[in-house]
Every structure is written in C-alpha cells, then in structure tokens.
Structure 1
C-alpha cells in the first residue's frame, strides 16, 4: 500500500487487546509491514536530514530519546487491532481474497518495491527523473490516482504523520535553543497545527507523484479497476482503520519524544 497510515478502541481493561492473526495476515498481504518499516526508518534518519537547526547534542539525543518509539512492530499491531475493530471477520476474509488475486498481488509488489527502505535513495532518484518527463497526456491517470488517494485517505494520514514529526523536530529545536523563545508543549502543538494546510498540499503533491511512479507499469484499465475497488465501503473502512492507527501511534510517540528531548536538554544544563 502507498501510504503512509486509525483510531482503535481503547479497552477498559488494563490488558492490551490482542490483534487477530487474520487482521495481521491481511496487513502483510497488502504490504503494510513494508510501509511501517519505511516509516520507522524515516523517523530514525530525520536528524541527518534536518541540518543545522538541530544542535549536535539533540541529534545525538534523538536516537536515545526515540528508543521504543515509531517502531514498525507497534504500527503493525496497532493497525491490526484497528482493523479488527472496524471490520467483521467476513469483511476481513473478503478483502484477503481480493488481495490474494494475481492482479492484486502484482500491484502490491509494485507498492512494496517503491517504498522498500533498503532501496529508498535509488527509488527517490528514479522517481524524480521519471516525474520530470511527464506531460499533459498523463493528466487522465492523475485523475484516477486522485480518486485512489481519496479512497485510501492517504493525504489525511500523511498530513497527520508529518505534523507529528514536525512537533518532535520543533521540540528538538526548542531543546537546542534554536527557536526565538521558549515554548510550552501546548504552544508548540498550536504552532504545528497552523502548518496543516501547507503540509497537506505538500503531502498531496508528494503522494500523487509517488503513486504515479509506483503504478507506472499498470494499464489505464488496471489502474481504473483498482481505483474503483478502493471506493468500496469495505476498502474505505480498511484503509481508514490503518490511517487512524498510524496517526494514533505518531501523535503519541511524537509527544513522548518531544518531552524526552526537553528533559535530556534540561539535564545537560544542571
């Protein structure tokens, strides 16, 4: 699956809910395990991409402060519980049957290849060169992909994920005195939320290009059929569950990370 990606029911019991093997198998079938691994790697490598806005101390703290956070396994388990909550066993089984078809498996292979963490740099370079060569004749395929993005809810999920990451980064900047003044957590959250519209546009454009590249070898008919499937109620519910779970983990872990970075910075000043 392409994107990045549900609010799961919180149980009254103190014991964690156990996701069904059926839901976990479905997530693996659609390639969410690869997506989750890519998201974890992105988080680990962020300090290297931010540049001088993060002090060397905070860049070093990032790995220690991020211990146990943004983990692929946690994303998978949270998403599986969400899928169990959102869908009935029959719905999960029906989706598994669909995604086990030859065409669906081929599409999933394309998606996995485009987001495999081990080839991320190569794919990024190839995608940029490929997108640069597109012209107006591709407009109709873009419209199909827009519909797919809507069915999967990837812009909303990607925006929530990006804002959570931005909060963690701003917390790190605050910890390294890179901001003009000190900010409370509530103030940082408000500043991050002000970026939502701009971030959403950026995510939309990025996902559009990424999906266009991932599905470049599909025919128009194959792409349209996949888009129509993603508009079905079961598919929408499935991807909504994944998206809300991804946002749940990202929001929680970004706040934990931000607090840890602030605490570690305060300890250095003692």
Structure 2
C-alpha cells in the first residue's frame, strides 16, 4: 500500500510538469541551450574589456552585466512572455518534437556554440546552392525573424559596457536621446544582418536536405509557424531586455 501511495503521489506531482505544453516547447526548441550560448558570448565580451579598462570600471562592467543577464531571470522573463504571446503552443511543440524539428534545433544550437562562433569570427564561408535551394532559403528568410532577433542579441552584448558607463555617470544620456540612439542602432544592425541573411541560413541549415528545408519553410510560413516565431521574437526581447534599466529587472 505504501508503494502504491508513493506511486500515486509521484504521478500527481509529475502530471502538471508533463501537462505544461509550453514548458516542454521551451525545452525542446532549445531555449535554455541558446541562453547558455548567449551567456558564453557575454563572458567573452567581458574578457575583451579586461585589459582595456581600469579595474574598478571593469568590475562594474562584470557586476552589471551578470545582474542583467542572470540565467534564471532571463529564462523566467522569456518563458513568461512566450506563454503570454503563444496561447496554443501544441502545433509548435509537435513540429520541434518531430525528427525534422530536432534536426533544425540541433543545427541552430551548433551554429551558436562558442567554438563555432570563434571559427567564423571573420565571416561565414560563401555557400554555393542550387536555384531550388536558394528559392526555399528566400522563403525561410522572410518567415523567420532572424534579422530582428540577431539585432537584439547584438545590442544586448554591446550594452555590456554601456550599462557600466551609465551606472558610473548617471544621466549621461537623456531618456529620449538614449532611445533614439538605440532604435537607430537596432535598424542598422537589422540592415547589416539582412545583407547576408540568405548565406547565413544556407550555412546554419546546410545539413538539411532540400526536402527537409522546404518542410521547415512550410511550417515557418504556416499560421502555426508564424504564431510561434512572432511569439518567440517577443520572448527574445523580454529575455534580453535591451534598453531597460538593469536595476528594475527581475
């Protein structure tokens, strides 16, 4: 009887976790892994400033960026926003649980590993592709919010130093001036990413066959795919919180 009671208790405690479709989607789609890769990039950015800043300024930089990009807080903000913006996560979960979805996630995670980023620091190799594959990639480039998400990540990493400077010199920029600078930089980054986006996607998804790539593009262009990727972009922005006061972030 004691064993039966323990089994029932275990089932009761476990069901809510498995029943949380969005929580499963967050894991299966690679969000925690991508956040870990972003943390690696922030650490690398911190190291680049080590020998060029006075010790006190450098310590402020590390402290402020660690506070802003605290892993659990980033996950909490991103997942809460995804939950709000994606009322029905089941279709996206079904895709990312499929063999193709897992292959897509694996390709994306590989592309953002620190060793892969270091290998391609001077730029990605030019990928040759057939007209058919280029056409599919063009559709995918329009469907995925890669420009927007890439700009947010770049701004977040660039903001590592800006946070520290602002904390040491309060009022350095007025609110409106700072927002105007941020918006202008965001648009420039989106334009830069867009210039080579097709080649970037060809490189990231190079191990997908034409048929797999087309199936992926079909999902991304579908109503369910659009709903997921639009929600994902808002979740990326919530997690990174670019331009928000670090002291007010949870």
1:249 aligns with 2:239: yes
Superposed CA offset, 1:73-131 (max 9, x none): 3333333323332333xx32232222222222222222222223xxx13x135546994
**Aligned residue in 2 for 1:132:** 125
C-alpha change, 1:169 and 1:29, in structure 2 (3 Å) is same
Contact 1:54 1:173 in 2 (8 A): no
C-alpha change, 1:152 and 1:104, in structure 2 (3 Å) is same
User: Is the radius of gyration larger for structure 1 or structure 2?
Assistant: 2
Match of residue 148, structure 1, among 113, 136, 140: 140
Structure 1 outlier segments of 4+, above 6 Å: none
Superposed CA offset, 1:19-72 (max 9, x none): x83212111111112111112222233233358775543222122123432233
| Residues paired across the two proteins, number | 231
Q: Which segment is superposed worse, 44-53 or 196-205?
A: 44-53
C-alpha change, 1:241 and 1:50, in structure 2 (3 Å) is farther
- Please, which runs of 5 or more residues in structure 2 have no aligned partner? 1-18
Kindly state the Cα deviation for residue 230 of structure 1 after the two structures are TM-superposed.
0.5
Superposed CA offset, 1:203-245 (max 9, x none): 3356544432221111122111111110111121112112112
Q: Secondary structure at the match of 1:132?
A: coil
**Aligned residue in 2 for 1:87:** 86
Aligned alpha-carbon RMSD (Å): 3.5
**Aligned residue in 2 for 1:46:** 45
Aligned mates of 2:202, 2:54 — CA distance in 1: 37
Kindly state the Cα deviation for residue 152 of structure 1 after the two structures are TM-superposed.
2.6
Aligned mates of 1:246, 1:83 — CA distance in 2: 9
**Aligned residue in 2 for 1:211:** 201
Q: Secondary structure at the match of 2:228?
A: helix
**Aligned residue in 1 for 2:7:** none
1:157 aligns with 2:145: no
C-alpha change, 1:58 and 1:141, in structure 2 (3 Å) is farther
Aligned mates of 1:168, 1:185 — CA distance in 2: 18
**Aligned residue in 2 for 1:111:** 108
Aligned mates of 1:48, 1:186 — CA distance in 2: 31
C-alpha change, 1:81 and 1:196, in structure 2 (3 Å) is closer
After TM superposition, the score normalised by the length of structure 1 is 0.69
Contact 1:160 1:247 in 2 (8 A): yes
Q: Secondary structure at the match of 1:183?
A: coil
- Please, which runs of 5 or more residues in structure 1 have no aligned partner? 1-19, 260-270
Contact 1:166 1:192 in 2 (8 A): no
Contact 1:165 1:250 in 2 (8 A): no
C-alpha change, 1:94 and 1:133, in structure 2 (3 Å) is closer
